[in-house]
Structure 1
Amino acid sequence: MSEPSRDKRLWLVVPAAGRGRRMGAERPKQYLTLAGHPVLVQTLARLHQAFPEARLCLCLDPDDAYFDPAWVPFGEWRRSPGGAERVDSVRQALAALADEAHVDDLVLVHDVARPCVTVADLRRLLANLREDAAGGLLATPAADTMKRDDGHGSVARTESRRGLWHAQTPQGFRYGLLCRALDAARARGLEVTDEASAVEALGLSPRLVPGRRDNIKITHPEDLALAAHILAAQREESPPTQANEESV
């Protein structure tokens, strides 16, 4: 890692190496058309609207035949090979930044399949991260009744939703902390489903930053149509100038 001799930078890590098997489509979900553009294009455009000066590391399958570099709106960006799992892609992206990133630089990791995150939520998350050494993530309080199954497809009991949150992305942490957390999780053989869980395993408590519920993750076929409706609704609710800025 570089010496602390310059201003801190903001890095964006976007894992985009998934195959999207649950979508059952002819191509990975990040390349499916959403409101006239690939999902990946919509997601990168939204991140660029919030953080035009950030530096991007885009994690792509080495054999990706769909990606077009012209889709990237960032002036400074690099491509990093994606891994077998999302956490592997993030680790490889962090390694690719090692010669430039300072331990205290902020790194935001965002799912490529979350194109509906709002600029306001992105900027509010960053403001919170600057004040919290443990990092944080966008999240929403659980609103539905939570059921625990019995392992055979029936209800075992109802769980209290008090204090439960649905984790979203981006999730943001200092570069040095995130590297340490992911390395420690791998050494201990821990399953890491998001960056926050690795940081939690160090005994830290990332901040929960309330975000909008329409920051959905496109996972199943019906999610694509829902995302299109969300983007249209967001354009309708934005002031005319902002709506124009947020179109790609």
Structure 2
Amino acid sequence: MNHLPRTYAMIVAAGRGSRFGAPIAKQYTQLQDQTLLELSVARLASSQYIDQCLLVVAEDDSMASTLNFAIPVSYTIGGAERWQSVQAGVEAISDIGADDSDLILIHDAARPAVPRHDIDQVIKAAMSEPYGAILATPVADTLKTSHTKSETTDKLLDNNHQHYYAKRTIDRSDMWQAQTPQVFRLGPLKRVLNYVAEHQLTITDEASAFEYLELPIRLVTGSRQNIKLTYPDDALLLSAILTAQFDPP
């Protein structure tokens, strides 16, 4: 008999955020007197489909357990690579009795401004798909590939002295910028992560694993407010977005 799948939320917070350049892990950056991790859990808590969340943290993480979260959270230890952390989370969710047809929602700790409407929409879309759905936005900017050229023509210098030159413009008509949450059926997600492990593939998001096996993942248009804190300048923009979202998202 068909049944409405349960949604299990997971936030991957085992990374160090090296590009952000801060002395602490990026997910513990403070915005509006809360950490990114607290803010992101609160956004998930605003969804009608989510009432608890699994946090995937680093083995030496001692901070997550000291924070105040909007919904009950549990913890599991992540791996060196993102996909390994997701796999650890998937195993933990399977161990508590999740069905292969249930949904696993994966969100980045560094996306604290995702609107509640977007969370609900991507979950509802995934409920009608055999594999899953992700939030994404159509690329609006002109995209270019580049090549490097050193300051001298006879030898390459280190990266600090290299200049980048436009090589060609990419057709953006079918280009999308992926966001999170990304929502997948548990059974297929386990299978594609095993495929990634067996073939030692490099992926930057979970949808990439499905793409390797040509399994269709639906794109759900998300808000451009749902930016990710990656570089220090992003903090200013995120703070402004969070301030503007004075009503519940």
Q: How many residues align?
A: 234
| Greater shift in the superposed pair: 81-90 or 143-152 | 143-152
Residue 9 of structure 2 is aligned to residue 12 of structure 1: yes
> Which residue is equivalent to 1:57?
54
Q: Deviations over 1:150-209 (max 9, x none)?
A: 254212111111100000001111000100011112212221111101011121110010
Partner Cα separation in structure 2 for residue 19 and residue 134 of structure 1: 30
> Which residue is equivalent to 2:242?
231
> Which residue is equivalent to 1:198?
209
> Which residue is equivalent to 1:91?
87
Partner Cα separation in structure 1 for residue 113 and residue 104 of structure 2: 20
So what's the TM-score if we normalise by structure 1? 0.89
| Greater shift in the superposed pair: 164-173 or 199-208 | 199-208
Residue 184 of structure 2 is aligned to residue 173 of structure 1: yes
Q: Deviations over 1:90-145 (max 9, x none)?
A: 00111112221110000010000000100011011111111111211000000000
Partner Cα separation in structure 2 for residue 132 and residue 67 of structure 1: 33
User: Do the aligned partners of 2:123 and 2:133 also contact (CA within 8 Å) in 1?
Assistant: no
Structure 1 residue runs without a partner (length 5+):
236-242
Partner Cα separation in structure 1 for residue 4 and residue 140 of structure 2: 41
Residue identity matched to 1:80: T
Distance change in 2, residues 1:6/1:211 (3 Å): closer
Query: How large is the RMSD of aligned CA atoms in angstroms?
Result: 1.9
Partner Cα separation in structure 1 for residue 90 and residue 74 of structure 2: 12
User: Do the aligned partners of 2:103 and 2:184 also contact (CA within 8 Å) in 1?
Assistant: yes
Structure 2 residue runs without a partner (length 5+):
150-163
Shift of 1:7: 6.4
User: Do the aligned partners of 2:9 and 2:50 also contact (CA within 8 Å) in 1?
Assistant: no
User: Do the aligned partners of 1:9 and 1:54 also contact (CA within 8 Å) in 2?
Assistant: no
Distance change in 2, residues 1:121/1:133 (3 Å): same
User: Do the aligned partners of 2:16 and 2:25 also contact (CA within 8 Å) in 1?
Assistant: yes
| Greater shift in the superposed pair: 79-88 or 21-30 | 21-30
Residue 156 of structure 2 is aligned to residue 160 of structure 1: no
Residue identity matched to 2:103: L
Q: Deviations over 1:66-113 (max 9, x none)?
A: 2235522223x3201021111111001111122211100000100000
So what's the TM-score if we normalise by structure 2? 0.88
User: Do the aligned partners of 2:31 and 2:239 also contact (CA within 8 Å) in 1?
Assistant: yes
User: Do the aligned partners of 1:10 and 1:54 also contact (CA within 8 Å) in 2?
Assistant: no
% identical equivalent positions: 38
> Which residue is equivalent to 2:38?
41
Distance change in 2, residues 1:16/1:50 (3 Å): same
